[in-house]
Each structure stands twice: as C-alpha cells, then as structure tokens.
Structure 1
Amino acid sequence: MPPARVAVIGGGVASCSLVYAMRKHLEARQLSLTLFEMGRGLGGRAATRRTREVPKLRVDHGAPAFEVRSARFADVCESLMVSQILTRCVGAYGTLRTTGEFVAEASGLASGVVPVRYTCSDSRGMGALCDALVRGGSDPAMGAPALVDAVFNTMVGAVRRTPEGVWSLSSSTGEALGEFDWIVIGSTAIGHPRWSVTFGGEPPLVLAARGLADQALDASLAQLAQLASRPVTACLMAFEGPAAAAWARMPFMKLKVEGDATLSHVSVQRLEPALTVVVLHSTHAFATESEAVYGATSAAARLAGAKTDALVEARLVASLARLTNTFGMAANFRSPLWGPHLHRWGAAFPTAPLLPRMHAFVPSARVGFCGDFVDTGDGRGGSVEGAALSGMQMADALVEALRLDGSAASGADRCDGGKCVVL
C-alpha cells in the first residue's frame, strides 16, 4: 500500500512541530507531507522578516522570544540548543506603568523567578526555529534537507473531497495543488468565518464539508466558528547609527505598556552596534477598529488584495514619540532607516474557549487541526509553546490513525456521536 499523502495548510510553529514529531516516519518514507504557506517562508507568528533594502536586517515581528513550561517542548528546545539553533533568552522584560515608571520583570514578580525563555542564536532570527523543526532538528545552515515539500507564496483557496475519498486542493487562483489522503489545518482561516470578511465567499473547508454529511467534521467546524481572536497591528522599524545605539540602551528587550489606547507592547532587537530593530504592537482595541487594514507588503495584501491604510500607520508611529519622551530620547532618534511597515496579526491571539482537543482530529473525514487555537490541556493555548504542543499531539494522532507504529486500532475506531477522542 502506498504511503499516505498529507497536506498541511499553514507553515507556523504547529505545522513545523508536527513535522519534527513525525521525523522518523518521514525519514522512513512511511508517509509524505506537503506544506502550503501563503507567506515567503516558515514561522507564522514566529517568522523572521527580511528585506532586500537592508540585506543584514532581520525582524522578529511576532515572537522575538518564547516561554516554555512543559517538559515535552523543553526537551525539544534543549536539543535545539545542542545544535546551536536556540539559546536561552537573557534579555530584560519589563512594564511601563501608567505613572511613567519602568518596572523590570524580576522585581515585578512575586517569586522573583524569571520564566525560562528561548530565542534563536546569533543572527539567525526566530524563523530558524521552524527551519530546523522541518529538518528534524538539524541545522539548516549545514545543508540539512527538509523532510517535507514546502510550497510558499501559495494560498489554498479551495478544498474538495473527491468521489474516491481523497482531498483535492487548489490555490486562490485556481491552480491545482494536488490530491491528498489527509489534510491538516494549521491556520484557522480556511475553516473560520473570518475568511469571508478578509477574502470574501464562504470558508473553503466549510463549503467542502457541506456535501460530506460528516457529523464529526461538522461538529469541529461549529466549534471552530466560535473561536475569537484579539487582533494586533504591528509596526516594524529599523534604526541605524546613534539612533540604533540609543534604542539598544533601552532597559528592556520587551516592554508591556499600560494605559495606552494605541500601544500595548514594544520589542527591541539589537542586531549589531549600528543596527537596532523596534517593533510596536498595538492594543487589541486599536487593531479591532481597523480590522480590514493589512500591511501593503503582507501576504494577505500580495496574494488576496487585503487593504492597508497609511493613517493607521501614522497613529501607531505617533505613540513612538510618547515612548521616547518617557525614556528621555532625542526627537531625531525617531527617524528609522527602514519602515515604518505595518503587519496585522488577525488570528494569532485566540481567546478562550479554544478548539477542544476532542474536535481537533476527525479521522472519519481525514482532517486535523493544529495551532495555538487548539486547547492542548495544559493552559498554553495562544502561545508559541501551545502551538508546538498542538502540532506534536497531532503527530501522535496521525501516527496512531495511520498505524505507523503498528498500533492495533486507529483514532477512527473511537468516534461516537460525531465526537472523536484521541488519547
């Protein structure tokens, strides 16, 4: 019997962790994975943005570092430290109070114990995390091949279950992308009502499910439709020379801003003495006011014509002046070498209730869901770690359903009343 063909839609941490957790089965060619990503590279919210304008520039605009609490993901991170992909994050976190007082994280914690965090080593950027995961933990800089076929700059715009029972995928432009035995959804959009707001028309997976009469899939999509997110608009900038040095002297790597109607977080990434990246994250309320506004160079704008608005950018940049005034920086340190550029995270901060784990795997329809929007049962939903754990749990479910470890029963054998439980 030929190996199962699995399509993974979305190239974020969850999808890449799925690949990592199935590495021995992929190396043994027990199945094949094809990953479709609408962006230029892997990572999702943990991606690293680069530009031809400033070749040495890298911007970790979503997650410059991440916290780890679970033993399973900590083991992965420690192994990636051995291969020098990750390192422990030692940058300062803090809070800017409404009074204008800066409070360092350790002094603001009751225990004084700073959480364990990781970031990527050297000048790699956070995107190196996913680049390594899809290579089974190997260093991409050493030429290690990916264990999946990755298709970038491609938005899956239609999915259809054929009479033969396989999933046929097409791009947003109608190009055939292939047929697959299973599909794993690593991003909610394809099955969430948000699709209609952003791109128009019904969500492709909802449309496909209508003709299947699969109670389990219908139940999962009904749960997914209830999922809400807190959008964030990010403003990306890079500074050089004295301005870069001034930003690098800030007493934080990541700052939480209290009481500001526009600005919620600021991250400062010191690339080298004369180059510093600053990323502003808006409040959820600010992003909600401009829910149809995307950056002009975002994947949503490039591939699907999503909108942008210079006025939104200007309002975020205006908050920069308030911040620099608080820390006594000169006005001329607000003029960036690169940027400002907008990027919208429309679904990167899901709110409870998350998609229940029992609805994240539907073997009767050969559909799975993984991402930070899935409740992995450990309270890490909405985080990089939650996404990774979800991907690894999905790998466990697929291994069992496909009987790759010689298991006697698949997840499909434990479906009852439209609900599929994978232990």
Structure 2
Amino acid sequence: MSPPRVAVIGGGVAACSLAHGLRDSLASRAVSLHVFEMGRASGGRAATRGTRDDPGLRVDHGVPAFAALTPEFGALCESLVAADVLRRCDGDGSAFGVLRSSGTFEAEDAAGAPTRYRPPVGKGMNALCDGLLGGESTLANFTPSTMVTKVEPVAAQWRLTSKGGVDLGTFDWLVVSSTGLAHPRWRTTFGGEPPLVEAAAALGDTALDATLAALVPLQSKPAAMLAYGSDAAAAWASLPFFKAQVEADPVLSRIVVQRVSQSLTAVVLHSTHEFARSAAHVYGATSTAARIAGAKSDAGEEGRILDAMLVAAEKRLGGLLGPAAAMRSPAWGPHLHRWGAAFPDAPLLPEGRAVVPSARVAFCGDFVEGGEGRGGSVEGAALSGLRLAKALQREIGGLCGAD
C-alpha cells in the first residue's frame, strides 16, 4: 500500500519547516511529501536574489536576518548553526535599530535584544530552506518553476494541474503555504477565480469556506532592490546599521544594507502596508509572478512607486550618506519586487482555521497566527510548518509519531 500523499503549494520557510517536522515519517515512508514552488528554488521570502548581470551579486531581499523568541524555534536555529546553515548575529557587525524622523539612527539596546541569525559568510538566506529540507539528501519531492493553476477535489483526493496543463498527480491532502491560490488578488494578477476558491465552491465544505473568507483581508507589500559598486558601495556600507526600522514614515517601513563584497553593497527598501495598498495592482517586471506566471506589469507605475520609495529614503538618509553614495546611480536596479503572500497585514488566519480535516486541506505560513505572537515573521512561518507536521501526524492514519 502506497503512503498517503501530501501536496504543498509554495516552497518557503513554512513548507520547508513542514518537511523538517515530517522527516522521520518521510524516512520511514509513512508519508510522501510533494512541494511545488513557482520560483527557481526553495526560499519564498527567504530566497536569495541574484542576477546574470553580476554573478557576484547576492541580495537577501526578504529575509536578511531574523529573530528567534521561542524556545522551540531557538533550538531549531541552533541546530542549523551547528550544521553551518546559519550563524548568530552576535558581534559580526550587524547593527539593528530605528531610523528616527530626525534622520538619526538609534541602535537597539544589546542587553535586551533577541538572538538573531544570518546565513554563514559567503552564503545567502536560501541556505535556511535548503537546510530545513535536508540539503541534497532531502526526503521531500521538490519541484521548482512550477505554477499550480488548478486544484480539483476528486474522490476524496486533490488533483493538481500546472499552468502548462500538466497533470501533477492526485494527493490525499492539500497544503497551502502561500495564499495566492486562495486569495482574491489572483483575479487581478492572473485573471479568473482563485483555484482553491473555485474548487471550494464545488466542494461545498462550510469549514473550508470559513477559512477562505478569513484570508480575504490579508495584504502584502513591495520592496525596492538596488546594488552599489565602487566608492558608492563603501559609502553605503559605512552606514551605522544593517537593518533599520523607519520611524513614522508613510512610505518606508525598513531599510536593509548588506555588504556583499568590498566593491559591492546591496540595499533593500521595504514599503509600509499603507503605501502597498495604494500600489496593490503593480508587480515588479523581474518578479516570479511576472516571469513565470505572466502577471502584467506597468513600467510607468513601477517607476512611480520606485521613485516614491527613493525620495523617502533620500529624506531619511540625507544626514547619514555623503554624495559618494549616489543613490540615483546604482550599479544594479532599482528593481521593484512585490511578495504576493509575505509580510502579511493583520488580521492573520487563526490557528483553529488552519487545518480543515473535512476537506483534507491545511494552511501554513507567516499568515497563520499560532498563539505565540510571532505571526508575520520568519519564526511564525517556521512554527506554523512545525505545528502542521504534528497535526498531519494526528489526522493521517499510519504516520510515524502520531500522538
């Protein structure tokens, strides 16, 4: 008898944490896990952006570093440090704090700061998801560059079909780790009804309908990515912070500065949710949604959004950056990137609605509030995946480690 088959849509931190939580069950072949990712590799928000224009450029545009506040996630991170997948930020030159309205930077109190983690030197944050999956010895079936555009309930199973019309197989459980498949934004981004919403209409499961309704208010936000070379790289790298929250700004929420090499510094400007709502119709031309899925992009609108973000950064950084920084003359960029599901705005999906046994559908991601107060973060995504692993062990008979 073949093991129960679980399909996961999206290959970010939550999905990879789910695979990590099920590793014993996967090893014993008590379950089969199939992850379908629209991008080129695992990572989601924790992916590392590169470019053919400069093979040395590496930008952790969604997760440059993250904090661990709960014992469970802290223990997981320490195990990844031991495996050389992560390193602690302690004493490595990473400065965190707030960029005040006055243009001054106020570093956080080191004594009360949480433990934070970054990739090892020379690696990108995509190492996190690779490590959670188990590297080359992963037990999950991982399929990149695959957009699932149709899900159908068929005889107590779920049949998946790709954008190209390829039958991806039938599965006993469907796990959604990226909300696009179930969110109204699908209509404006790709056209037509969201696949899971369409399937739910035919299924008539009231519990699933309630979960889908709870996802509707979620919003995401864009970021502007740039890289500077030569003297400008040194000028940017001399800023007194690695990651700064931007105080009371209607456009920017944070600024991240990553020294990639002596001659290359990457800068990422993150918008506020308020600003994102005014630009909900725009996706970056180089984003996965545009490249793989064909999301429409308006160059004029992209330019307007990028200009607004650069103007806001100039106002805040004018007293900290000298003329050598050449903000308007980057070596790469500016490029607009909009995450479809990451950085969700409240209200998040309650944990009690994340598993729908009657429909054999489950949800995991930073958009799920698990009670630890870490929703919307990398930690929240990871804990969501680990919780779902335990829930599936309870729900699917025969899984190893069932409670």
Q: CA deviation at 1:356?
A: 1.6
Structure 1 residue 18 corresponds to structure 2 residue 18: yes
Name the counterpart of 2:373: 379
Structure 2 contact 393–401 (Cα < 8 Å) conserved:
no
Provide, for residues 84-110 of structure 1, a one-character-per-residue CA deviation record: whole Å limited to 9, x for no partner.
111111410121211222211128xxx
Name the counterpart of 1:96: 99
Name the counterpart of 1:145: 137
Name the counterpart of 1:417: none
Which residue identity is paired with 1:102? F
Q: CA deviation at 1:332?
A: 5.3
Provide, for residues 388-419 of structure 1, a one-character-per-residue CA deviation record: whole Å limited to 9, x for no partner.
000001100111122313748xxxxxxxxxxx
Name the counterpart of 1:313: 306
Name the counterpart of 1:274: 263
| Structure 1 residue ranges, 4+ long, deviating more than 6 angstroms after superposition | none
Structure 2 contact 223–269 (Cα < 8 Å) conserved:
yes
Question: Please, which runs of 5 or more residues in structure 1 have no aligned partner?
Answer: 409-423
Which residue identity is paired with 2:151? V
Structure 2 contact 231–324 (Cα < 8 Å) conserved:
no
Structure 1 residue 117 corresponds to structure 2 residue 109: no
Structure 2 contact 47–62 (Cα < 8 Å) conserved:
yes
TM-score normalised by length of structure 1 = 0.89
Q: CA deviation at 1:295?
A: 0.9
TM-score normalised by length of structure 2 = 0.93
Deviates most, 192-201 or 356-365: 192-201
Name the counterpart of 1:191: 182
Q: Map 1:220-235 onto structure 2 (within 5 A).
A: 220-225=211-216, 227-229=217-219, 231-235=220-224
Q: Distance in 2 between matches of 1:255 and 1:358?
A: 34
Q: CA deviation at 1:219?
A: 2.4
Name the counterpart of 1:395: 389
- Aligned-residue sequence identity (percent) comes to 52
Question: Please, which runs of 5 or more residues in structure 2 have no aligned partner?
Answer: none
Q: CA deviation at 1:235?
A: 0.9
Q: Distance in 1 between matches of 2:112 and 2:153?
A: 51
Q: Map 1:103-182 onto structure 2 (within 5 A).
A: 103-106=106-109, 112-135=111-134, 140=135, 144-162=136-154, 164-182=155-173
Name the counterpart of 2:64: 64
Structure 1 contact 153–299 (Cα < 8 Å) conserved:
no
Which residue identity is paired with 1:193? P
Which residue identity is paired with 2:296? A
Which residue identity is paired with 2:349? L
Q: Distance in 1 between matches of 2:256 and 2:326?
A: 16
Name the counterpart of 2:323: 330
Q: Distance in 2 between matches of 1:88 and 1:69?
A: 14
Name the counterpart of 2:400: 405
Q: Distance in 1 between matches of 2:377 and 2:51?
A: 26
Matched positions, count: 394
Q: Distance in 1 between matches of 2:335 and 2:345?
A: 26
Structure 2 contact 189–295 (Cα < 8 Å) conserved:
no
Structure 1 contact 321–331 (Cα < 8 Å) conserved:
no
Q: Distance in 1 between matches of 2:80 and 2:119?
A: 9
Name the counterpart of 2:54: 54
Q: CA deviation at 1:331?
A: 5.0
Structure 1 contact 235–279 (Cα < 8 Å) conserved:
yes
Q: CA deviation at 1:186?
A: 0.3
Change in Cα spacing, 1:218 to 1:310, as seen in structure 2 (3 Å) is same
Which residue identity is paired with 1:307? S
Q: Distance in 2 between matches of 1:120 and 1:100?
A: 29
Q: Distance in 2 between matches of 1:359 and 1:312?
A: 35
Which residue identity is paired with 1:133? L
Structure 1 contact 93–252 (Cα < 8 Å) conserved:
yes
